[in-house]
A and B are shown apart, each in its own frame.
Chain A
Amino acid sequence: MQVPAYVEYEKATSLTHALSLLAKFGPEARVLAGGHSLIPMMKLRLAQPETLIDINGLTELSYLDSTGTELRIGAMTRHAELLGSRLAGQHFPILHDAERVIADPVVRLWGTVGGSLCQADPSEDLSAAFAALEATMVIAGIEGKRTVPAREFHIGPYETVVGPGEILTEIKIALMPGGGSAYEKVGRRAGDWPVAAAGAAVWLEGNLIRTAGIGLTAVGAPQFAAREAEESLIGAPATQEAFARAGRLAAEHCRPVFDQRGPVEYKRHLASELTVRALRRAVERARG
């Protein structure tokens, strides 16, 4: 069996403690959340941190609540907790759609929302869901907290704006009435990373789309978002034609790459097809 290289280990007891440990051990330290992305990388020796700061004891980062204007998701919320949250599902069914197809039930019990986001895999599902919802990330550092829009969170594949001494602590989503959302994914098998996936969040005024967010993953969409497709929908009637146009724009503006999951043309097609399907279901949900 593959085994990690030598590493030091520190158990953080609070956010403040975790940040001070990060400061103490410097840029070669890594935060260890659920570990289901980091530990496999360490076993393959693709990641060889000098020190792990275990934040599994930070119950203060494990919560899911509403302030009345925002849904707040603590970064240490396990995937299964988000999937099991009635509150999250009631406001944003896209999160349940996405969680249902992330990895598998046992992995979801340990893997964390924040850990997945910080791993920043270009095929990660929640990144697309949060992009569609235009969520806000809260990042804590030794100096205090700062917020970053979900669509500015990623720098590139496996890279985020979270600095060496910082920890992602929370994801916030504004609560707005009249919305509906959905997530559609194609994998090769249960538990597979997506070949492509699309998330849509729409808010209606009558039959018109007031605002729409579209997230895409695994297809090289900048910041996991399909901006041109979104813009085409604003003020448009929620019709199949409008969805199809959005799908075409989503496909046109993404940059998928060929791999074992499929050729570029196919992934581009999926960007369109899944955008249309997600929009259709999101609108159905918005209409109740």
Chain B
Amino acid sequence: MRITLTVNGTEYSRIIEPRLLLIHLIRDELRLTGSHWGCDTSNCGACVLWLDETPVKSCTVLAAMADGRRVMTVEGLAAGTRLDPVQEGFARCHGLQCGFCTPGMMLTARWLLDHHPDPSEADIREALSGQVCRCTGYENIVRAVRWAADYEAAQDQADHS
């Protein structure tokens, strides 16, 4: 079947088998390998990307289901050379080690901050609780997201003053 979707602002049209998983379309066909996979049971969250306006575990979505929709991956997070504050927070707070869970973590964090600009530590931990990190013990991921929240709040304030 033919599907057409927009990934990080670029439209792609591909002929696929209906069983093709979205993560494989993104990684193997479109060669955007920043999104990873780590389990098969939607437990680890390494494959999280955005489908339209929300994060999704893309190992549990058929590429066919993304027909006509928009996808955002980690490769689309930065605005040109300017990192998203979430990316900046991860760098400043040592929020990543091996880097494998990082794209999924950042995409969920971005969604959280879009909907909840001032999350508590508990809110952040809850939001990321479906995504496994084996390296950081989560502490610095939580700090990274909080850093991004503070940064964005300061930016907002600057914009309004």
Contact = CB atoms under 8 A, between A and B. Distances in A.
Given A40-B40, A54-B64, A9 B1 contact: yes
B130 A3 contact: no
Interface in A1-57: 1-9, 11, 32, 35-36, 39-40, 42-44, 52, 54, 56
B1 A106 contact: no
Interface in A179-212: 190-191
Nearest to B61: A35
Interface in B109-154: 126-127, 129-131
Nearest to A57: B68
B65 A104 contact: no
Contacts of B130: 103-107, 191
Interface string B94-116: 00000000000000100000000
Contacts, number: 86
> Which one of A35, A40, A52, A104 has the highest number of Cβ atoms from chain B below 10 Å of its Cβ?
A104
Contacts of A36: 42, 57, 60
B42 A40 contact: yes
B54 A43 contact: no
B29 interface: no
Contact of B59 (A1, A7, A54, A56): A1
Interface stretch (B4-12, B13-21, B73-81, B84-92): B13-21
A109 interface: yes
A98 B24 CA distance: 33
Contacts of B55: 106, 109
Contacts of B129: 104-105, 190-191
B62 interface: yes
B19 A6 contact: yes
A6 B108 CA distance: 31
B62 A35 contact: yes
B111 to A, nearest CB: 9
A110 interface: yes
Contact of B65 (A42, A43, A54, A190): A54
A8 B18 contact: yes
B62 A106 contact: no
A56 B17 CA distance: 19
B54 A56 contact: no
B100 to A, nearest CB: 14
Contact of A44 (B40, B56, B61): B40
B126 A105 contact: yes
A106 B67 contact: no
Contact of B127 (A32, A35, A44, A105): A105
Nearest to A51: B18
A56 B65 contact: yes
B64 A1 contact: no
Nearest to B21: A3
A225 to B, nearest CB: 29
A107 B67 CA distance: 20
B18 A9 contact: yes
B19 A110 contact: no
Nearest to B130: A104
Given A35-B61, A110-B61, A191-B130, A3 B19 contact: yes
Contacts of B24: 1, 3
A32 to B, nearest CB: 8
> Which one of B21, B24, B56, B60 has the highest number of Cβ atoms from chain A below 10 Å of its Cβ?
B60
19 contacts: A3-B19, A6-B17, A7-B18, A7-B19, A8-B18, A9-B18, A9-B19, A9-B62, A32-B65, A35-B61, A36-B60, A43-B21, A52-B18, A54-B64, A104-B45, A106-B48, A109-B55, A110-B60, A191-B129
Interface of A: 1-9, 11, 32, 35-36, 39-40, 42-44, 52, 54, 56, 103-107, 109-110, 190-191
Given A7-B18, A54-B62, A106-B108, 12 more contacts: A1-B23, A1-B37, A1-B40, A4-B19, A6-B17, A35-B60, A35-B65, A105-B130, A106-B48, A106-B131, A107-B130, A109-B54
Closest 5 CB pairs of A and B: A104-B130, A9-B18, A2-B40, A4-B19, A190-B129
